[in-house]
Amino acid sequence: MEKIIEVKNLHKSYGEVQAVKGIDFYVETGKLFAFLGPNGAGKSTTINVICTLLNYEQGEVTLDGLKLGVDDAKIRQQIGIVFQDSVLDNLLTVEENLRIRGSFYGLDSKSLEQAIEEALKVTDIYELKNRRYGQLSGGQRRRTDIARALIHRPKILFLDEPTTGLDPQTRKSVWNMIEHLYKNQGVTVFLTTHYMEEAAKADYVVVIDNGQIVAKGTPIELKDKYSTDSLQVKPINKHEVINLLKKEKLDYSEISDLLVIPLNSTIEALPILKLLDGAISAFQVLNGTMDDAFIGITGKEMRE
Ligand code: ADP
């Protein structure tokens, strides 16, 4: 296991506001890392510091063995960043936008052409290369933004809510491309997202709230620890089922015409179903989700 990003005791304030209050975490090479938190938690501040865009008061950060504050120019060679707001020129074509960006990296013309071609291919926008950026659809723009961030073949790609604002189908296709980057291209992806089904695909998740890390783990570990499974039943006679549950001292809540019974594990549903046999017309056992885990950790819903 190799750590490509390591953050130790990082502090960052804006005047009186302590945005990041001494956080520690690391990211493993070639993995999908999700950095989650409610609005105002400190995600952007942390990312901006790591990406050399913002100074900080205290802490140690290394990226690919390079020390933040010492090797910043080299760090910038190793990272690509896609923020929510695009920085590309609407009037230029996709290829022209990439060429301008690529030219900042001092490549000779042959290497530049090669880099542009690779970035177009890996993001699956080769056939769009002569279209003006301003005329692309939302998903095509996102791909182009990512291609721009990949033009210098960075080892780490920072994606700040890459699929926000896209329709579900486009989100899926942009997501497939992101998967291709870390699964097949060896790029480490540092992701923030409001979509918990994306976070659930991460190799590792760190949750920040109020400038502090409040949970870390794989999605499975977080779901296990912070969300609960439940049994939903549809009573034939609600009163009767409630009485049966009360007699057994089982917790429940009502959601419209259903009763929801929390479980420590799905197997606990079996004796309850036996108890309710004949008194219910339908049931389902639900596993805890990343959404539940997020609410369990932060007490807040992830706002979109
Ligand atoms: P997130 O990205 O998780 O929404 P941010 O890192 O943007 O959170 O913000 C963390 C905290 O720092 C918030 O309280 C926010 O209001 C504050 N903050 C962020 N940027 C600035 C700034 N430029 N000046 C002052 N306060 C800021």
pLDDT single digits (tens) 228-262:
899 999 999 999 999 999 999 999 999 999 999 99
pLDDT, tens digit (0-9, with 9 covering 90-100), for 58-78: 999 999 999 999 999 999 999
pLDDT band at 304 (very low <50, low <70, confident <90, very high): very low
Q: Is the CB of 38 under 6 A from ligand 1?
A: no
Please state the atom number of ligand 1 nearest to the C-alpha of residue 44: 2
Please state the atom number of ligand 1 nearest to the C-alpha of residue 48: 6
Residue nearest to atom 25 of ligand 1 (CA): 14
In whole angstroms, how far apart are CA 94 and each of 43, 134, 140, 162, 232? 30, 9, 10, 18, 50
Q: Residues 88-100: what's their mean pLDDT?
A: 96
pLDDT at 198 over 50: yes
Distance (angstroms) between ligand 1 centre and the Cα of 5 equals 22
Distance (angstroms) between ligand 1 centre and the Cα of 45 equals 6
CATH-assigned architecture of domain 228-287: 2-Layer Sandwich (3.30)
Q: Residues 142-162: what's their mean pLDDT?
A: 96
Of 42, 34, 84, nearest to 293 by C-alpha is 34
Q: Return the pLDDT at 84.
A: 85
The pTM of this model reads 0.89
Q: Return the pLDDT at 111.
A: 93
Q: Which amino acid is at 118?
A: E
Q: In the predicted model, what is the mean pLDDT of the chain?
A: 94
Domain boundaries defined on the chain:
3-89+153-223, 228-287
Please say whether the beta carbons of 209 and 279 come within 8 A. Answer: no
In whole angstroms, how far apart are CA 61 and each of 6, 84, 100, 192, 208? 6, 24, 30, 19, 17
Please state the atom number of ligand 1 nearest to the C-alpha of residue 15: 25
Q: Which fold has domain 3-89+153-223?
A: Rossmann fold (3.40.50)
pLDDT at 291 over 50: yes
Q: Return the pLDDT at 205.
A: 98
Residue nearest to atom 23 of ligand 1 (CA): 14
Q: Return the pLDDT at 303.
A: 56
Query: Percentage of the chain surpassing pLDDT 90?
Result: 89
